[in-house]
């Protein structure tokens, strides 16, 4: 037997029989180089190491390990990490042939296998591990700075970490509503969904674009490539949700009607989850337009019935009319509550020259800027001298598909997100981005918002992780008061509205007539807060916050006992107790009708003036304006007052201000609740 160096004993058959070791080795390749840089498994430098698990009282483990290592002619390298009873033994020769290593290995294995203190042992081998990073062979991927910005780290959509966790949009279908999608191109074909596609311009199932010298119908294909371009096919680029399915609805290559838009918004809405729409009204700064009656109905129907009841997701571009001072508030697609409105920032995070701003902006993501900035690299058509790849996609048309792709990633990890959940997650996760052009305001919910950037920059990592743990928000609830047509011109200013009380169902102010009784209907717009829409003529603000006591019914119609009138000439006015008494009688009937119960006359109101009387005194020289009380409904009302001939009613001191009208509305609510 060989003589082992470094104090190792001579081996004999008797010694092997005496040791009788049962051995068990712990696999810890990552620990080996930390224990001894010179130590490695045989596959590298011919060194031998074993992990051994020992069974002994805790206080004896260290001693047993030292004894066993010496007996085996090995060096005890210490405990493996924090694992009690697990040790690493190493053979450290000056140099031996491979044949000698085999003999040593057999001897040590036999010794460990027969030892009573050894649970198990394992010889350490080199392991092959790779980092969880993605490498694409698509030639233009290194230029897709919006996906992975090597030049300016952090100024991208932060999506690579999501991909590394195998979140690629799998199981989600995005449809591009545009001028068609060339689905036969190499970057699109493997992910193409014919089931979700249609051509509304030609009325057939194939959305293939038709070449056009003037319009160049490649817009939809570029947007589709941003979303779902196939990776690792040695062609062009990678899509943000490259595991998703992509469909196309061709509708912009020809005459467009309201009915066609409506069909497009709901086409295959149980197959298509997300509708990407990079278009809208003209961006000329003078067009106010949006979906018409059918289009509006289709958007609403989509969020109610689409995607198996969770609601279709409509992503729209905010528009490119910034150079024309256009504003996306004029765009009915952008300011619809059913859409996700996406704006653009350039690679520096700044608002580009073409970007529009508006209150309805939900968020922004990256796109091209001026000619010195990089644009979006994406798939292109190969028709009409196209190459199948472009480096010049820009505008908010390029931003909206990126957002649609990020939403597809969200829906993969949480398919049950509703359309409202998607909007809420965007608001909660968007990153506030400092830009000298942006003005940020903090709303009452504590969120920062700007008309330039919405709630901030979309971040795929934050969106996906928030979606995983998101609790669904309640269904949308809205209450709209009845619309009562008054049949008169809209005043220029709120100050031109006046209020008078008339017992003959009209206000005889300068010969004009107005409604004697209107209804205000409260509407719930957020948890814990309700609002009452006051029944005032157009020109006054329509919504005022109205605190409603806990436990009260939120749907009771409020009798708004108001006559709205306007005086343009001289007025005769109301001045006698006779007219005031008649007014009270009318209001009592109105209250009874609105509340559904009889309202007592003034005889049931002790301490208040009799029907037709006023308290306190009427305004006059040296006396402040007073306000009487209508006993019938316990409401503060305007006292009957005489307007001197030739004096305009609007200047009369007894007329209520907007503040007075609001006080009256509070009284109306109290009356509606009853005792």
Distance separating alpha carbons of residues 371 and 104, to the nearest angstrom: 71
For 460-529, give the secondary structure using H, E and C. Answer: HHHHHHHHHHCCCCCCCCCCCCCCCCCCCCCCCCHHHCEEECCCCCCCCECCECCCCCEEEEEEEEECCE
Give catalytic status of residue 331 as yes or no: no
* Contact indicator for 248, 205 with CB cutoff of 8 Å: no
Give catalytic status of residue 219 as yes or no: yes
Instruction: Dihedral sign for Cα 193, 198, 199, 203, please.
Output: positive
* Contact indicator for 223, 185 with CB cutoff of 8 Å: no
User: Of 38, 5, 176, nearest to 104 (Cα)?
Assistant: 5
3-state secondary structure of 637: strand
Please tell me which residue in 40, 138, 156, 178 is annotated as part of the active site: 178
Please tell me which residue in 318, 397, 537, 602 is annotated as part of the active site: 397
| Residue 464 burial (10 A CB sphere; 0-12, 13-18, 19+) | buried
Strand partners, 314: 275, 339
User: Of 320, 324, 224, nearest to 276 (Cα)?
Assistant: 224
Distance separating alpha carbons of residues 280 and 287, to the nearest angstrom: 11
Please tell me which residue in 219, 449, 586, 629 is annotated as part of the active site: 219
Distance separating alpha carbons of residues 317 and 354, to the nearest angstrom: 12
Would you state the structure tokens that stand for residue 357, as one six-digit string? 């701003």
In angstroms, the Cα distances linking 303 to 1, 114, 280, 402, 422 are 83, 71, 19, 21, 12
Tell me the HSE value of 420 on the side-chain side, using a 13 A CA sphere: 10
The owner of tokens 């952008």 is 334
Distance separating alpha carbons of residues 246 and 194, to the nearest angstrom: 9
User: Of 277, 301, 299, nearest to 403 (Cα)?
Assistant: 277
List, as one string, the DSSP characters of 248-286.
EEE-SSS---HHHHHHHHHTTTTT--EEEE---S--SSS
User: Of 55, 61, 60, nearest to 116 (Cα)?
Assistant: 55
Give catalytic status of residue 178 as yes or no: yes
Residues identified as active-site: 178, 219, 397
């Amino acid at each position: 037997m060989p003589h082992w160096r470094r104090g190792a004993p001579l081996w004999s058959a008797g010694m092997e029989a005496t040791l009788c070791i049962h051995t068990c080795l712990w696999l810890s390749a990552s620990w080996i180089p930390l224990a001894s840089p010179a130590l490695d498994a045989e596959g590298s430098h011919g060194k031998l190491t074993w992990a051994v698990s020992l069974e002994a009282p805790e206080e004896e483990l260290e001693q047993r390990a030292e004894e066993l290592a010496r007996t085996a002619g090995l060096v005890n390298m210490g405990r493996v990490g924090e694992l009690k009873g697990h040790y690493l033994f190493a053979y450290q020769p000056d140099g031996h042939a491979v044949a000698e290593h085999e003999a040593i290995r057999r001897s040590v294995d036999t010794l460990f296998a027969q030892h009573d203190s050894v649970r198990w042992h394992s010889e350490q081998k080199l392991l092959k591990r790779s980092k969880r990073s993605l490498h694409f062979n698509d030639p233009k991927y290194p230029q897709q700075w919006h996906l992975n910005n090597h030049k300016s780290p952090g100024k991208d959509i932060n999506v690579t970490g999501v991909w590394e966790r195998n979140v690629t949009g799998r199981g989600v279908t995005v449809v591009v509503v545009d001028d068609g999608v060339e689905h036969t191109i190499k970057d699109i074909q493997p992910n193409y969904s014919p089931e979700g596609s249609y051509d509304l311009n030609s009325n057939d199932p194939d959305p293939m674009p038709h070449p056009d010298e003037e319009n160049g119908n490649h817009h939809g294909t570029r947007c589709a490539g941003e979303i779902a371009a196939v990776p690792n096919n040695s062609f062009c680029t990678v899509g943000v949700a490259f595991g998703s399915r992509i469909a196309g609805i061709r509708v912009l290559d020809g005459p467009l009607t309201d009915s066609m838009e409506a069909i497009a918004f709901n086409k295959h809405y149980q197959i298509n989850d997300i509708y990407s729409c990079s278009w809208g009204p003209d961006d000329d700064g003078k067009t106010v337009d949006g979906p018409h009656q059918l289009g509006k109905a289709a958007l609403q129907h989509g969020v109610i019935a689409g995607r198996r009841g969770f609601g279709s997701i409509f992503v729209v571009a905010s528009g490119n009319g910034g150079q024309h001072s256009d504003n996306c508030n004029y765009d009915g697609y952008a300011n619809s509550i059913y859409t996700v409105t996406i704006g653009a920032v350039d690679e520096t995070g700044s608002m580009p020259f073409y970007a529009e701003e508006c209150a309805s902006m939900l968020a922004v993501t990256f796109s091209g800027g001026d000619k010195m900035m990089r644009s979006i690299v994406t798939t292109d058509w190969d028709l009409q001298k196209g190459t199948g790849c472009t480096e010049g996609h820009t505008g908010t048309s390029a931003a909206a598909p990126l957002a649609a792709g990020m939403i597809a990633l969200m829906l993969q990890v949480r398919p049950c997100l509703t359309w409202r959940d998607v909007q809420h997650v965007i608001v909660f996760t968007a990153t506030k981005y400092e830009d000298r052009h942006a003005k940020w305001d903090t709303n009452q919910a504590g969120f920062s918002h700007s008309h330039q950037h919405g709630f901030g920059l979309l971040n795929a990592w934050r969106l996906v992780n928030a979606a995983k743990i998101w609790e669904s928000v309640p269904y949308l609830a809205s209450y709209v008061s009845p619309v009562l047509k008054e049949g008169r011109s809209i005043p220029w200013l709120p100050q031109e509205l006046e209020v008078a009380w008339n017992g003959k169902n009209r206000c005889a102010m300068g010969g004009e007539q107005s409604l004697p009784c209107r209804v205000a209907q409260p509407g719930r717009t957020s948890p814990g807060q309700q609002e009452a829409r006051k029944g005032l003529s157009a020109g006054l603000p329509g919504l005022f916050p109205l605190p409603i006591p806990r436990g009260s019914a939120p749907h009771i119609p409020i009798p708004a006992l108001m006559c709205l009138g306007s005086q343009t000439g001289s007025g005769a006015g109301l001045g006698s107790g006779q007219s005031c008494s008649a007014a009270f009688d009318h209001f009592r009937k109105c209250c009874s009708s609105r509340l559904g119960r009889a309202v007592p006359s003034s005889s049931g109101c002790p301490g208040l003036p009799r029907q037709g009387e006023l308290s306190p005194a009427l305004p006059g020289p040296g006396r402040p304006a007073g306000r009487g009380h209508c006993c019938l409904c316990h409401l503060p009302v305007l006292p009957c007052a005489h307007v001197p001939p030739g004096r305009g009613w609007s200047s009369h001191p007894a007329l209520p201000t907007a503040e007075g009208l609001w006080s009256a509305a509070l009284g109306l609510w109290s009356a509606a609740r009853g005792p």
